[in-house]
Structure 1
Amino acid sequence: MRVALFVTCLVDGLFPDVGKATVALLERLGHEVVFPERQTCCGQMHINTGYPEQAAPLVANHAAAFADAEVVVTPSGSCAGSIRHQHAAVAREHAPGVEAAARAVAAKTYELSEFLVDVLGVEDVGARFPHRVTYHPTCHSLRVLGVGDRPLRLLRAVRGIDLVELPNQEVCCGFGGTFALKNADTSTAMLGDKMAAVTATGARVLTAGDASCLMHIGGGLTRLRSGVRTVHLAEILAAT
C-alpha cells in the first residue's frame, strides 16, 4: 500500500524522531511511505481556539495536499480527530468549495494505531522494547476518535515489554493545546495529578499516541527528576 504521511507541526518541528519511527515501522511492514511536501498545519489549534475562519485556508491546503493519496496516516490522535471531525464543518462555513475535498481526505485519514489494527489487521508489528511502560490514552484519541484499546493491543504484542496500567488513565493531562497557556494554574494542577499517577506505576517509560501530551507530561517529569522518560507509541512499535 502507498501511505501518505501527515507528520503534523509538532512532530516536524520538535519531535522528528516520531515521524522517522512512523516511516520505519510502515516500511518494515512492507508499505511505501510518501510525504506530500505541500502539507502544513492542519489548523487544529486555530479551530479549537475559536478561529475557524483563519483555519479555513489551512483546511483547504490540507485537502489539496492529500487529494491524491490512497490513504493518509498520522502519528497524532488530535490532528486525526481534527481532520475527521472538524475540517468539513470549517469548510462548509468558511470555504464551501472545499467541503467535498475535505470530506474525501477525512474519510481516508487514520491515526497510526487505527491504521495498523483496522486497516492492516496487524497487532504484532515485530517490535521489541524491554522496559517497564505505562500508557496514557490522550483525550482526542480516546474521546474524539474512539481508538479504544488499539494502542494497548499493539503494546501487549511487543516483545520484552512490561506493560503496567496507568491509574485514572482516562483523566486529561492538562495540556489541551492553548488551554495550558490560557489556564496555566489549572493545567499545572491537572499535570500534577497525571504525574503522580505515572510515578505510582513504577514505569520507566510513559507512552502515548500524541507528541503534544507527551511534551507536556514529559516536561513535568523532567522537572521532577523522576527518571521517567516519554516515548511516542510509534517509537516503541518501530523498535527492534
Structure 2
Amino acid sequence: MRVALFITCINDTLYPGTGQAVVTLLERLGIEVGFPGGQSCCGQPQFNTGYRKEAVPLARRYADVFRGYDHIVVPSGSCAAMVRDNYPRIDAEATAGSVARTYELTEFLVDVLGVTDVGAYYPHTVTYHPTCHGLRMLGLGDRPRRLLEAVRGLRLVELEGAEECCGFGGTFAVKNADVSAAMGADKARHIEETGAEAVCTVDNSCLMHIGGTLTRRGSATRPVHIAEILAGTEEAAL
C-alpha cells in the first residue's frame, strides 16, 4: 500500500508537529508514508473567495503530484472536503483519480485500515469539537470519537453546542470579524464549562481560532489536533 501525506498549508506553515504526528502514527501501524515535495495549496482559499479560475491549476497540480499513490491522507477536514467536494466541480476529468483516493485522517484509520484502537495513550481530560467541514461535507460522524474513546488514559467529556461553528470559516473570520469573534467566544465558553484540559478537532484552522480565543480569555484549556493525541504512547510519555 502506497500512502502519501498531504500536509496542507496551515499545518506546513504553523503546525508542522501535526504532520509529524501523522507520520509517527501511521508508521506505528505499519504504513510507509510518502511525502511528495511538489505538493502545494489545495486551492480552498481561492475557491471560497470567488477566485475559482485560480483554483484550477492547484487542483490539477494536486492530481499530478499524488499520482501513483493508493491513498492520500489529509490531517484536515476542510482541505479533504475541498478535494472531495469541490474538485469535481473544478475539473472532474483531471482530478477524478485523486478525489477517489483522498481521505481525512480519521476516515483513513477507520474505513481503510479498519482500526479504532491505534495503541495511543493520552492521560488527560479532552472535549471534542466536530468541525463544520468534517461534520457536514465529509460526514465523519462518530469516527473521531471512536478513536478518542479507545485512547488509554483519555477521559472524553461532552461539549455543549458541539455542532455549532467555532466562527473561523477561513476568510469569513476576516470579512466578518465581529460575528466570527462572537461565535468563537460562545465556543470557548462552552469548552471552558467542560473543565477539559484540552479541546480536540480534526482541523488546525479551527483550533487556531479556538485556541486564540481561549488564550485571550486566559483559559488553561489547550487546543490539540487529534493526530497528536493518537500519536502518543506510554513509552513516549516516560
Task: Tell me if both proteins adopt one fold, taking TM over 0.5 as the criterion.
Answer: yes
After superposition, the C-alpha distances for 1:39-64 in whole angstroms (9 at most, x for unaligned) are 00000111111111011111111111
| Matched-pair contact (CA < 8 Å) for 1:36–1:66 | yes
CA distance in 1, matches of 2:152, 2:209: 28
After superposition, the C-alpha distances for 1:137-187 in whole angstroms (9 at most, x for unaligned) are 000000000000000000000000011011110000000000000000000
After superposition, the C-alpha distances for 1:31-82 in whole angstroms (9 at most, x for unaligned) are 0000011100000111111111011111111111111111100100000000
Matched, 1:175 2:165: no
The DSSP-based 3-state class of the residue aligned with 1:117 is helix
Q: Which runs of 5+ in 1 are unaligned?
A: 92-98
| Matched-pair contact (CA < 8 Å) for 1:67–1:101 | no
CA distance in 2, matches of 1:5, 1:205: 25
Q: 2:127 aligns with which of 134, 146, 158?
A: 134
Aligned to 2:181: 188
Matches within 5 A, 1:146-225: 146-225=139-218
Matched, 1:71 2:64: no
CA distance in 2, matches of 1:15, 1:60: 25
Aligned to 1:41: 41
The DSSP-based 3-state class of the residue aligned with 1:86 is helix
CA distance in 1, matches of 2:44, 2:172: 13
1:50 is matched by which residue type in structure 2?
G
Deviation at 1:117, TM superposition (A): 0.3
2:191 is matched by which residue type in structure 1?
V
Deviation at 1:223, TM superposition (A): 1.1
The DSSP-based 3-state class of the residue aligned with 1:171 is coil
| Matched-pair contact (CA < 8 Å) for 1:132–1:204 | yes
1:116 is matched by which residue type in structure 2?
L
Aligned to 1:233: 226
CA distance in 2, matches of 1:168, 1:201: 12
Deviation >2 Å, runs of 4+: none
CA distance in 2, matches of 1:126, 1:226: 30
Aligned to 1:96: none
Aligned to 2:113: 120
CA distance in 2, matches of 1:144, 1:186: 22
Aligned to 2:236: none
Deviation at 1:100, TM superposition (A): 2.1
| Matched-pair contact (CA < 8 Å) for 1:25–1:238 | yes
Deviation at 1:105, TM superposition (A): 0.2
After superposition, the C-alpha distances for 1:95-130 in whole angstroms (9 at most, x for unaligned) are xxxx32311100010000000001100000000000
1:155 is matched by which residue type in structure 2?
L
Deviation at 1:2, TM superposition (A): 2.1
Structure 1 length-normalised TM: 0.96
Matched, 1:108 2:87: no
1:25 is matched by which residue type in structure 2?
L
The DSSP-based 3-state class of the residue aligned with 1:134 is strand
The DSSP-based 3-state class of the residue aligned with 1:137 is coil
The DSSP-based 3-state class of the residue aligned with 1:104 is helix
Give me the identity figure in percent. Answer: 59
RMSD over aligned CA atoms reads 0.7
CA distance in 2, matches of 1:134, 1:178: 26
Matches within 5 A, 1:15-30: 15-30=15-30
Structure 2 length-normalised TM: 0.97
Deviation at 1:18, TM superposition (A): 0.2
CA distance in 2, matches of 1:50, 1:165: 37
